[in-house]
Amino acid sequence: MKFGLIQNYSADIAEIADAVDTYESAGLDTIAVAEAYSFDAATRLGYLAAKTRNIGLMSNIFQLYTRTPALTAMTAASLDSLAPGGFTLGLGASGPQVIEGFHGVPYDAPLGRTREIVEICRQTWRREPVVHDGKNYSVPLSRERGGSGLGKPLKLINRVARADIPISIAALGPQSVAQVAEIADGWQPIFFDPTRASMVWGESLKRGTAKRSAELGPLAIQVQVFFAFGEPSPEAVIRIRSYLALYIGGMGAKGKNFYNDIVSSYGFEAEAAEIQNLYLAGRRAEAMAAVPDELVQGVTLLGDPDRLRQRIADFESAGVTELLLAPVADTAEQRLDDVVALLALVGRGRG
């Protein structure tokens, strides 16, 4: 099991950057930087690349619709060349609320766009002239697709550090998860309960893996978890419940909320409906209170050393290869101490 740290998109990147030496000595594998409707992730990842010596970096996630495929490939190649520990390109479609509500771009064809972007990125990193004619992207843009007819195939000027930069894709729906298992190096689910995940995604993973090229190797599964070493404070628990209520209740209209669908599939259908009704009615405190304790415990990593060991074993048994820790302690000092304590608990540390 690998262990990473995810930087909250609303937090100051300096908190992690100033503690990089400690994290490296403790044996942390990865730092992932989120990007929603916040500061962009690429700039912060570049800043971290200058601070690290051996920790890998990952985007969590670059949204499909906000960069052209070529810019996505260029950014990933640049970050991989800058980061001593290498870079993993985390991609995802996000959702209509962010893509249409914040970026003003139509949220269309997420499956097709994902596959095409992966193909274009890998072609770019091989430094081949980029030639692609898909339903969603055409490179060069032909006259028939609205281009001038003057574009010619180009290849990336720079030599890349790696032509096989890992691609890890955030996906939730059955078709998208199956596609990830087929084409990606890694998968980033959210609200992953290791005791229930197979109920939601097991069949999709099996279907996609059957089509997977042996050259890709096994699928990595990188799971973001709220984390506390010991019992979290009441304020921290409120923050966890607030986050769950926001996504289950507010990230999409009824019938179009992927996160609500997951919780319903876990067996909390009535609770998910209640959370959504309350949240959309503006009764957010009640929505938070309606989040089941069993769900909170299922999708987090909280507790004393014995419980943490058992939970890590549960995640490992469910196929998870890396836990991306989102510490919930109230102070930066305690968040750092909690991560270092967990890494010591599992026998990490580079001295």
The predicted-structure confidence for 34-62, as pLDDT tens digits, reads as follows 998 889 999 999 999 999 999 999 999 99
Vertex 222, ends 46 and 295: CA angle to 5°? Answer: 120
What average pLDDT score do residues 239-263 get? 92
What average pLDDT score do residues 289-309 get? 97
172 shares its domain with 318: yes
Strand partners, 220: 186
Residue 351 lies in a domain: no
Residue 173 has pLDDT above 80, yes or no: yes
The predicted-structure confidence for 220-245, as pLDDT tens digits, reads as follows 999 999 999 999 999 999 999 999 99
Residue 351 has pLDDT above 50, yes or no: no
186 shares its domain with 95: yes
The pLDDT score that the predictor gives to residue 166 is 98
The pLDDT score that the predictor gives to residue 67 is 96
Residue 338 lies in a domain: yes
Tell me the pLDDT of the chain averaged across its residues: 95
Residue 138 has pLDDT above 50, yes or no: yes
Q: Domain end: 259, 276, 298, which one? A: 298
191 shares its domain with 237: no
198 shares its domain with 131: yes
What average pLDDT score do residues 134-148 get? 93
CATH number of the domain enclosing 144:
3.20.20.30
171 shares its domain with 308: yes
For the chain, how many residues are written? 351
Residue 161 lies in a domain: yes
What average pLDDT score do residues 69-73 get? 98
What average pLDDT score do residues 289-294 get? 97
140 shares its domain with 154: yes
Residue 350 lies in a domain: no
Band of residue 190 on the pLDDT scale cut at 50, 70, 90: very high
Strand partners, 132: 139
The pLDDT score that the predictor gives to residue 350 is 61
More confident residue, 49 or 10: 49
The pLDDT score that the predictor gives to residue 149 is 87
The pLDDT score that the predictor gives to residue 282 is 96
276 shares its domain with 319: no
Domain count across the chain: 2
Residue 261 lies in a domain: yes
- Cα 14 from Cα 11, distance rounded (Å): 9
**pTM summary value:** 0.95
76 shares its domain with 125: yes
On whether the CB atoms of residues 112 and 134 are closer than 8 A, the answer is yes
The pLDDT score that the predictor gives to residue 9 is 79
3-state SS track over the chain:
CEEEEEECCCCCCHHHHCCHHHHHHHCCCEEEEECCCCCCHHHHHHHHHCCCCCCEEEEECEEHHHCCHHHHHHHHHHHHHHCCCCEEEEEECCCHHHHCCCCCCCCCCHHHHHHHHHHHHHHHHCCCCCCEECCCCEECCCHHHCCCCCCCCCCCCCCCCCCCCCEEEECCCHHHHHHHHHHCCEEECCCCCCCCHHHHHHHHHHHHHCCCCHHHCCCEEEEEEEEEEECCCHHHHHHHHHHHHHHHHHCCCCCCCHHHHHHHHCCCHHHHHHHHHHHHCCCHHHHHHCCCHHHHHHCEEEECHHHHHHHHHHHHHCCCCEEEEEECCCCHHHHHHHHHHHHHHCCCCCC
- Domain range holding 252? 231-298
69 shares its domain with 158: yes
184 shares its domain with 105: yes
56 shares its domain with 125: yes
25 shares its domain with 141: yes
Residue 11 has pLDDT above 90, yes or no: no
